[in-house]
């Protein structure tokens, strides 16, 4: 299955420590730094990888959530350095990516808070302006994943709406998430299909790709934890959507805790990253209280997450690479990938709470 068409200001002394103990506007809650020898090994392997726009973004987000703010700022600086004239962050040349660059947005916002460098806020504003006013979209206003066709991808549900939410547009974040879900939800399968071509009015990829469902669920979780109290109804809808994905995927969980690349097609290869992504969602839900570990059904979610985490730990090789994820560069085989490294770190941060 083809997935893709293919330091001006230093951190002031003590800023990283202060930021780990104070609430940032760009982060939903106070979290202590997360570290262990295994986490450090996986992080180093992640930082060794070459990265496209979405890979830079998810790596920076992982560093933000484990509390490695020094390294996160460095990745945010590089995303700003490679910002296109139209506002897209972390671009390696003109490219056809529309949604992926926005995955860098939260880290860029957080870097501005840490360093006080106005260049980060300016870069974030330009990224936001691109999404709101320049990005190609469907007739009903849902942002396309690429600029070469009007396609909606499940991947976009992680890339775009969480940034919109932390950038002060939670209303638009919800609208984009709802529009993507409406187009991609596969009622029969109980999961999201991968790509709907809104221009051609047909499926470009109807498969329920595991990592695509993981992207969507993780994106919803990030929005849930940032919505203002006045949007409690929207929050509850997103919680329901996350549970729908969890239920749909967990119905196909293997005895080893993992899933097939296309979740409901056992002939496809066994894949590691969806397990990490869903574990991340479950642990965040438990610690935030919208999943209740005392509730019988939610207890099953937690037990499933623990199996998934154990399975992912067993996949880390001696170099720190998480093996068996949907692999770079073509994402058509098991291998390694920046996002697989990043979601191991995100899962560990969520497990700690």
Enter the DSSP assignment of 245. H
In this structure, the number of other CB atoms found within 10 A of the CB of residue 230 comes to 8
pLDDT for 273 equals 98
Q: Mean of the pLDDT values across residues 47-58?
A: 97
Distance CA 295, CA 244 (A): 17
Handedness of CA 192, 194, 199, 200 (dihedral sign): negative
Cα–Cα distances in angstroms (integers) from residue 276 to residues 8, 27, 52, 345, in the given order: 35, 21, 21, 9
Task: Check whether 1 has a pLDDT greater than 60.
Answer: no
pLDDT for 32 equals 82
For 72-81, give one letter per residue: b (16+ CB within 10 A) or e: bbbbbbbbbe
Q: Mean of the pLDDT values across residues 229-246?
A: 98
CA 6 to chain centre: 20
Instruction: Determine which of 15-29, 47-61, 131-145 has the lowest per-residue pLDDT on average.
Output: 15-29
Terminal CA-CA length for the chain: 34
Q: Mean of the pLDDT values across residues 164-172?
A: 98
Closest by CA position to 174, among listed 124, 114, 233, 118: 233
Q: Mean of the pLDDT values across residues 40-68?
A: 98
CA 101 to chain centre: 12
Task: Check whether 271 has a pLDDT greater than 50.
Answer: yes
Q: Which domains does the chain have, with CATH numbers?
A: 36-352 (1.50.10.10)
State the pTM of this model. 0.92
Query: Predicted confidence band at 29 (pLDDT cuts at 50, 70, 90)?
Result: very low
pLDDT for 30 equals 52
Name the more confident of 19 and 344: 344
Task: Check whether 79 has a pLDDT greater than 70.
Answer: yes
For 264-299, give one letter per residue: b (16+ CB within 10 A) or e: beeebeebbbbbbbbbbbbbbbbbbebbeeeeeebe
CA 39 to chain centre: 18
Task: Check whether 203 has a pLDDT greater than 60.
Answer: yes
Distance CA 123, CA 89 (A): 8
Q: No. of H helices and E strands in the chain?
A: 14, 9
Task: Check whether 14 has a pLDDT greater than 60.
Answer: no
Instruction: Determine which of 182-186, 272-276, 292-296, 306-310 has the lowest per-residue pLDDT on average.
Output: 292-296
Task: Check whether 25 has a pLDDT greater than 60.
Answer: no
Handedness of CA 2, 282, 217, 92 (dihedral sign): negative
Closest by CA position to 161, among listed 169, 151, 153: 169
Distance CA 331, CA 310 (A): 23
Pairing relationship of beta strands 259-260 and 202-205 according to DSSP bridges:
unpaired
Residues in the chain: 353
pLDDT tens per residue across span 213-224: 999 999 999 999
Handedness of CA 337, 156, 110, 287 (dihedral sign): negative
Average pLDDT in the chain: 92
| 87 dihedral zone (left: phi>0; alpha: psi -120 to 50; beta) | left
- Reading the block at residue 264, the tokens are 């409901």
Task: Check whether 4 has a pLDDT greater than 50.
Answer: no
Cross-strand bridge partners of residue 322:
316
DSSP conformation letters of 335-347: E--HHHHHHHHHH
Closest by CA position to 158, among listed 289, 346, 303: 346
């Amino acid at each position: 299955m083809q997935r893709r068409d293919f330091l001006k200001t230093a951190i002031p002394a003590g800023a990283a420590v202060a930021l780990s103990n104070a609430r940032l506007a760009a982060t939903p809650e106070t979290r202590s730094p997360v570290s262990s020898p295994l986490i450090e090994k996986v992080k180093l392997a992640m930082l060794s990888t070459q990265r496209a726009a979405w890979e830079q973004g998810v790596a920076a987000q992982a560093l933000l959530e484990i509390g490695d703010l020094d390294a996160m700022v460095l990745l945010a600086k590089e995303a700003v350095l490679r910002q296109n004239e139209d506002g897209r962050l972390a671009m390696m040349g003109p490219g056809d990516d529309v949604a992926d660059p926005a995955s860098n947005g939260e880290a860029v916002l957080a870097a501005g808070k840490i360093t006080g460098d106005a260049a980060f806020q300016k870069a974030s504003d330009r990224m936001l302006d691109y999404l709101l006013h320049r990005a190609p979209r469907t007739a009903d206003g849902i942002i396309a994943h690429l600029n070469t066709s009007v396609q909606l991808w499940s991947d976009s549900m992680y890339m775009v709406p969480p940034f919109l939410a932390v950038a002060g547009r939670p209303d638009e974040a919800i609208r984009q998430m709802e529009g993507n879900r409406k187009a991609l939800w596969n009622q029969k399968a109980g999961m999201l299909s991968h790509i709907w071509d809104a221009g051609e009015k047909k499926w470009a990829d109807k498969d329920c790709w595991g990592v695509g469902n993981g992207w969507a669920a993780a994106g919803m979780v990030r929005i849930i934890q940032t919505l203002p109290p006045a949007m409690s109804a929207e929050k509850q809808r997103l919680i329901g959507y996350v549970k729908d994905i969890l239920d749909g995927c967990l119905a196909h969980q293997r005895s080893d805790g993992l899933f097939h690349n296309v979740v409901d097609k056992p002939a496809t290869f066994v894949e590691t990253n969806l397990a990490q992504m869903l574990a991340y969602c479950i642990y965040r839900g438990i610690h935030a209280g919208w999943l209740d570990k005392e509730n019988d059904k939610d207890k099953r979610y937690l037990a499933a997450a623990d199996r998934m985490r154990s399975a992912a730990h067993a996949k880390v090789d001696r170099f720190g690479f998480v093996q068996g994820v949907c692999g770079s560069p073509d994402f058509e085989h098991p291998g390694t990938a920046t996002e697989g490294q990043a979601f191991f770190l995100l899962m560990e941060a969520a497990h700690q709470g």
